[in-house]
Structure 1
Amino acid sequence: MINVAIIGTGAISTSHMKGYLQFQDRCKIVALCDIYPEKAEEQANEFGLDVTVYRDYLEVLEQDDIDLVSVCTPPYTHAGIAIEALRSGKHVLVEKPMASSLEECDAMNEAADRSGKILSVIAQNRFTSPMMKLKHVLDTKLMGPILHTQVDSFWWRGHSYYDLWWRGTWEKEGGGCTLNHAVHHIDIFRWMNGMPSEITAVMSNVAHDNAEVEDISVAIGRYPNGSLAQITSSVVHHGEEQQLVFQGKNARVSVPWKLKASQSLGNGFPEKDKDLEMQLQHIYDTQPNLQYEGHVGQIEDVLSTVEGKKEVLVTGRDGRATLELITAIFQSASLGKTVALPLDQTSPFYTTEGILKNATYFYEKTASIDNFQTNEITTGGNYE
């Protein structure tokens, strides 16, 4: 039996609790921790958990019977908690974004290497049937080289969203929609198509004058072969339509699933390639649906890895690579220059201090409330 502690009992923690409770024959939640212990008590009562509630996460890590820790706290705390958990011999599943800076990511991965324990970063949208099926289609290479990729990470958040005490500041949230919303689609984009060699980006804040950070960004990624990718991150799009479109030399596929394949007429105009469309559709249709999806799917993946059954799908280095791409967007947009990848310690945005010094500040944060009265949130991922 894998004993689990959840540190941070805000809105996203309920997704972790529900996930672990799907596998009560394999794991047990034994501890909750929050700087507001009454929140943790409320969560324990809501889910009928027999747990010990802590205020200080260091007390949680002193418990020898805890095997796995879910870190569900604000982003600026992720690195410190995860590193201490790994040092104490716990496996760690940390919410997105992995950390506030690449320096922190590197320290977390080093701690995982030294401890020999698992460090996994939440990327729950990988664990959906449409995404897994699309990844399989792309891996066949039947589409030919990818020429253009379109990533639309469209979300909508009201003005009051940034009133929560830790949101809307570079120091505590680490950035705006590019980091905390589009991280899902940027992770999938990089997982499916690899890392571009350079990024050119712009960003703005058009609807949230109570936040320092951006609420929209547009980035263009270039690959060594000339292929381009456009990535739009937003919390100002009504309807929250989200998609990834891959235009290959031979065909176009996307999530939500759409397929088109063309071949050239003698005059260069398109003609439908029925055979390739049938082949790609067959590959997509014959891939089985996942048994577990979203946070539940990723938690099952981590539990299986702890049990020694497989390698974890989303590693700490995956989380670092996704943050690297996001950091390049912030650096390019803030400094007005194209940024070459990979990023290392020479980047002015490598450290938290560098980000705070160089990032664009749009507005002053004007409100700070401890908690919202509702924990209802949306996490995207409707790709049908």
Structure 2
Amino acid sequence: MKTWNFGIVGAGLIADFHAKAIADIPNAKLVGCCDIVSARAKELADKNNCQAFESYEELLKSDDVDIVTIATPSGAHMEPTIAAAEAGKHVMCEKPLDVTLERIDAMTEAHEKSGTRLGGIFPYRFNDSQTVLREAINSGRFGVITYAGIYVPWWRTDEYYKDSWHGTWKLDGGGALMNLSIHMVDMLCDVMPPIESLQAYTGTLGHKIEAEDTAAAVLRYTNGALGVIYGTTASYPGRFRRFEITGTKGTVIQVENSFTVWQFAEEKPEDEEIRRKYGQIEGGGGVADPAAITHDNHTRNFKAFLDSLESGKDFWISGAEARKAVEVILAIYKSTKEQTQVKLN
């Protein structure tokens, strides 16, 4: 069995999750990392018994590296991703892929040209409860779906925004939506038809930052269903994220990784077991502390990427797929700026 050697670009908080995920995969090994702050790279390297490189350019010169994970600030994803493609390395890139569609498209094109793979990181897709929900939607159990909405009422302290990039347009690409609620926006992109149009408002109400800390949008999907996106980092003390979907034959409310409502007009034998298995609220990480999450679904995300490389099949969260959530969030920003409805599809 081939061992896939990883290098991590960026040695901040999320890089530690990448390192733990790689360590959990039997045929994966972390061989190097880098950061613009050399002390951070050394700390991560020492912790994981790998080499600290002076720059991503030096890391990419290493023949030992097969796959690069991008863990830099969001607006600095494109440059190392394109450089990796030119060096013949596959890439797994943190959300969002980058902060503009133009930069994302350049990343995708670079990997298409080089024949390497670009994969996105959206760990929520790998929750067991998400798989169960996806199957219920795809099998038509909701009848005519009339509504699907997400709610991310999180809290971040002022200290969170005191670094050089969080909440800035250049490096964060936005605020509550682009950095945090994007996980749940991706959930809509995963399980629902495309969003046809939206109308939105955003505000910077609880923090002194460039971008929004509160946003709300009303959606219409291409199947005619309606929906809502609500995301904030100004909701003390931070509450569980929530996904609601309803139709003419069923309703599900997912809170964190659990179901508080799982009800269908046509009951199936497995429904009671689903309610029992997923009835207790599990999760809660991230509502107020960005470090208070596990790396388990990062591991699943990375493992799925390796499986796609070994099988030759397309990776589920390709560059084009990971682009969708960014497109929706940028449409929300456009709707707010222009005070108008924005059409996407």
Common fold: TM-score over 0.5: yes
In the alignment of these two chains, the number of paired residues is 323
Confirm whether residue 82 of structure 1 aligns to residue 110 of structure 2. no
Q: Percent identity?
A: 29
Deviation, 1:283, is 8.5
Q: Which residue is 1:97 aligned to?
A: 96
Please state whether the residue corresponding to 1:45 is helix, strand or coil.
helix
Distance (whole Å) between structure 2 residues aligned to residue 78 and residue 120 of structure 1: 13
Structure 1 residues 251-275: Cα deviation after superposition (integer angstroms, max 9, x where no partner): 101323133547xxxxxxxxxx4xx
Conservation of the 8 A alpha-carbon contact between 2:10 and 2:33 = yes
State the 1:33 CA deviation.
0.4
For residues 173-231 of structure 1, give each alpha carbon's deviation from its aligned partner in whole angstroms, at most 9, with x where no partner exists.
1100110101100001111002111010000011101x101001001111244311101
Alpha-carbon separation, structure 1, partners of 2:275 and 2:246: 20
Secondary structure in 2 matching 1:9: coil
Equivalent positions of 1:153-164 (< 5 A) are 153-164=152-163
Matched, 1:281 2:283: no
Alignment counterpart, residue 305 of structure 2, candidates 281, 292, 302: 302
Q: Which residue of 1 aligns with 2:107?
A: 108
Please list, as runs of the form range in 1=range in 2, the aligned pairs for 1:92-171 lying within 5 A after superposition.
92-171=91-170
State the secondary structure of the residue aligned to 2:311. coil
1:4 aligned partner: 6
Q: Name the CA distance, whole Å, in 2 between partners of 1:34 and 1:66.
A: 16
1:22 matched to 2:20: no
Equivalent pair of 2:5/2:30 in contact (CA under 8 Å): yes
Match of 2:197 in 1: 198
Contact 1:137 1:284 in 2 (8 A): no
SS in 1 for 2:215: strand
Higher RCO (CA < 8 A, seq sep 6+): 1
SS at match of 1:20: helix
1:232 lines up with 2:235 in the alignment: no
With structure 1 as the length reference, what TM-score do the two structures score? 0.80
> Do 1:259 and 1:277's aligned partners in 2 also have CA atoms closer than 8 Å?
no
Deviation at 1:150, TM superposition (A): 1.8
2:51 equivalent in structure 1:
52
Q: How far apart, CA to CA, are the structure 1 residues paired with 2:185 and 2:330?
A: 12
Per the TM alignment, residue 307 of structure 1 is displaced from its structure 2 partner at its CA by 2.2
User: How many angstroms does 1:284 deviate by?
Assistant: 4.5
For the Cα contact (< 8 Å) 1:175–1:213, is it kept in 2? yes
User: Structure 1: how far apart are the matches of 2:238 and 2:63?
Assistant: 46
> Which residue does 1:187 correspond to in 2?
186
Structure 2 CA distance for aligned equivalents of residues 310 and 225 of structure 1? 29
Q: CA deviation at 1:128?
A: 0.8
Matched, 1:329 2:327: no
2:259 match: 257
- Provide Cα deviations, 1:151-177, integer angstroms capped at 9, x if missing partner: 012211001111101122111211001
- CA distance in 1 between counterparts of 2:95 and 2:64 reads 26
Deviations 1:134-164 (A, max 9, x none): 1111111021121011201221100111110
**Residue pair 1:253, 1:260 contacting (<8 A) in 2 also:** yes
Length-normalised TM-score, structure 2: 0.89
Cα deviation, residue 132, structure 1: 1.1
| Pairwise CA distance, 1:26 | 0.6
Amino acid of the residue matched to residue 296 of structure 1?
T
Q: In 2, Cα distance between the equivalents of 1:280 and 1:151?
A: 26
Query: Which residue pairs with 1:35 in the alignment?
Result: 36
CA contact (8 A) 1:148 1:227 kept: yes
Secondary structure of the structure 2 residue equivalent to 1:53: strand
Shift of 1:54: 1.3
Residue identity opposite 1:325 in structure 2: V
Q: Tell me which amino acid in the other structure corresponds to 1:259.
A: V
Q: Distance in 1 between matches of 2:38 and 2:200?
A: 41
Residues 230 and 244 of structure 1: CA distance in aligned 2, closer, same or farther (over 3 Å): same
1:48-97 CA-to-partner distances (Å, cap 9, x unmatched) read: x1x22112111111122210000000011101111111121100000111
Whichever residue aligns with residue 7 of structure 2, its letter is: A
Deviates more, 1:94-103 or 1:247-256: 247-256
- Give, as a single letter, the amino acid of the residue that structure 2 aligns with 1:207: G
**1:320 aligns to what?**
323
Unaligned runs of 5+ in 2: 279-294
Runs of 4+ in 1 over 2 A off after TM superposition: 44-47, 223-226, 237-240, 258-262, 277-280, 282-288, 306-311
- Give distance in 2, aligned partners of 1:282 and 1:293: 26
Structure with max Cα Rg:
1
Contact in 2 for aligned 1:259/1:281 (Cα 8 Å): no
Q: Secondary structure at the match of 2:36?
A: coil
